[in-house]
Amino acid sequence: MSAIEKMFSSYTFPSGVEVKNRVIMAPMTNFGSHDDGTVSEKELSYYRKRAGGVGTVITACAFVTPSGKGFQGEFGAHDDSMIDSLKSLASTIKGEGAKAILQIFHGGRMCPPELVPNGEIVSASAVPAEREGAQTPRELMEDEIESIIQDFGHAARRAVEAGFDGVELHGANTFLIQQFFSPHSNRRSDKWGGTLENRLRFPLAVIEEVKKAVNKATNAPFIIGYRLSPEERENPGITMEDTLTLVDVLTNQELDYIHLSLGEFFQSSMRDKESTTPIIEMIREKVNGRTPIIGVGSIYAAEDAKKAFSSGIPLIALGHELIIDPQWVQKMESGRENDIETELDPTAQEQLVVPDSLWNAIINSPGWFPIKKQ
């Protein structure tokens, strides 16, 4: 089977959900929701524009509790009053023929204080992130940890009720689930921290709670995936050794997939400069077919995607490229590879249907996206 044939063959996740192809829209924050956490019409238009070709859309992250809101203009899954809003998002995506997965998260110490109750940010330990202007979070008490775990379960139940086909647990990009796993942000001495085994306790408890909530809410097949960042720059920080242990444990959790968060699909370790083996190869070897893997990272041109599929990874996610060219999948499928746009046209916001806040962030962040010179 060629890479293109593989790309456009259907795929069935372990839970039994079948998708029409193996291309996924990656979760990307778009800063476009209303202040009350409801999804805006602009966001619905943005997803509608991009959901027609891919087999699956993983949404931007939705916060599971008010203390976890990580971005201005982020939609919420923190209360039953959000179900109708989430329903409009799920039905918009599914109306274009894609499966809809809601990414759920808590921002932890990465939350802007102005977005959370009383301006109080929380985390596994009272250790600030290593970034300019970072504030020191308050260490969560044990009953609060248990409460947040339940909040993830409630958010997953709301996703079921809103008509989503699955949820993705956001254990990547330095947010709360990752903060519990990280030796930098988790310096606890109780059962929630210290040893690697204890640092795994929170992510595993969240998975267990979400599975329990989903099983109670529906008998139908429902996707549960987990996203992770393989390494951290901080010291002490997450190493590849830590992550290979995490991945090994995750394969025993009956998940539908493990989704890697990488800047480059074939990048090697940023901590171990002597290692030239791509991280995705290390993880594929460790997983050894036990759980599907989603690979991602700087896939723009047709050749990038073909090379990614030739690696043996069953599913790929496109992020930036689907903002640049919402018709990427349709062009690939119909043999119009040469028509694919790989640089953002800075004059095409209206045509590309991108919310103002996201568009302004892209245009004002040099190097974030490849931008066509005018």
CATH number for 302: 3.20.20.70
| H helices present in the chain, as ranges | 3-7, 41-50, 83-95, 142-161, 176-181, 196-199, 201-217, 240-250, 279-287, 302-309, 320-324, 328-333, 349-352, 356-363
**Is residue 371 in some structural domain?**
no
Residues 128-150 pLDDT 10s: 999 998 999 999 999 999 999 99
**Is residue 46 in some structural domain?**
yes
**Is residue 373 in some structural domain?**
no
Hey, what amino acid is at 278? P
Residues 212-267 pLDDT 10s: 999 999 999 999 999 999 999 999 999 999 999 999 999 999 999 999 999 999 99
Q: What pLDDT was estimated at residue 3?
A: 87
**Is residue 374 in some structural domain?**
no
**What is the average pLDDT value for the chain, to the nearest integer?**
97
Write out the residue range of the structural domain in which residue 33 sits. Answer: 3-363
Count of structural domains, the chain: 1
**Is residue 23 in some structural domain?**
yes
How far is it, in rounded angstroms, from Cα 67 to Cα 72? 13
Q: What pLDDT was estimated at residue 148?
A: 98
Adjacent-strand bridge partners of 99? 56
Q: What pLDDT was estimated at residue 1?
A: 78
Residues of the chain with pLDDT under 50: none
Q: What pLDDT was estimated at residue 374?
A: 80
**Is residue 368 in some structural domain?**
no
Phi then psi dihedrals of residue 303, to 5 deg: -65, -35
Q: Which two tokens stand for residue 63?
A: 């916060």
Helix 41-50, helix 83-95: angle, nearest 10: 30
Q: What pLDDT was estimated at residue 90?
A: 98
Cβ distance 262 to 279 under 8 Å? yes
**Is residue 222 in some structural domain?**
yes
Cβ distance 74 to 81 under 8 Å? no
User: What is the biggest distance separating any 2 CA atoms in the chain, rounded to whole angstroms?
Assistant: 57
How far is it, in rounded angstroms, from Cα 269 to Cα 290? 23
**Is residue 369 in some structural domain?**
no
Cα–Cα distances in angstroms (integers) from residue 233 to residues 130, 184, 270, in the given order: 9, 10, 8
